[in-house]
Homo-oligomer: A and B are copies of this chain.
Amino acid sequence: MKTIEQFLESKNIRVTAMRLLIYKFLAEKQVAVTLSDIENAFEKADRTTLYRTIKTFEEKAIVHQIDDGTGINKYALCEKGCNCEIETDLHLHFHCNNCNETICLTEHKIPQIKVPDGFVSENVNLVVKGICDKCSGQ
């Protein structure tokens, strides 16, 4: 059972107060968050710091960026063993048209997608939009 500090260090990320707070914030959230979400949660911190922290996390593969079609980048912690860069590892994302939240469906891998001859698939982004479990009252 690693501490967060140990985990960050194992990823070659220096531990700072800010980084710990942001990591914990992401870990508590069950949904993908925008930079503004983080900004609102830490009003004392500068936006740039938050931005660069997220980018650092992304580089070191502890968060992945999600384009859910809203036009605003969202971020979520990677699961253990998640290799975001490997196509076959990619899970799909769900965006709720009602509450506007986006969540990782980590259990749901993206099916193999056929592309025409001559095309080479390197990466797939799949976003399902609809009504989430909370909003469907189910």
Chain A residues with a Cβ under 8 A of chain B: 67, 69, 71, 92, 94, 97, 105, 107-108, 111, 113-133, 136, 138
Q: Cβ of A129 and Cβ of B123 under 8 Å apart?
A: yes
Closest to A133 in B: B118
In the complex, chain B residues whose CB is within 8 Å of the CB of A67 = 67, 69, 71
Assess A115 versus B105: contact at CB under 8 Å? Given A67-B67, A127-B125.
Answer: yes
Q: Cβ of A127 and Cβ of B124 under 8 Å apart?
A: yes
Q: Cβ of A136 and Cβ of B119 under 8 Å apart?
A: yes
Q: Cβ of B128 and Cβ of A115 under 8 Å apart?
A: yes
Closest to A124 in B: B128
Assess A124 versus B126: contact at CB under 8 Å? Given A67-B67, A108-B115, A111-B111.
Answer: yes
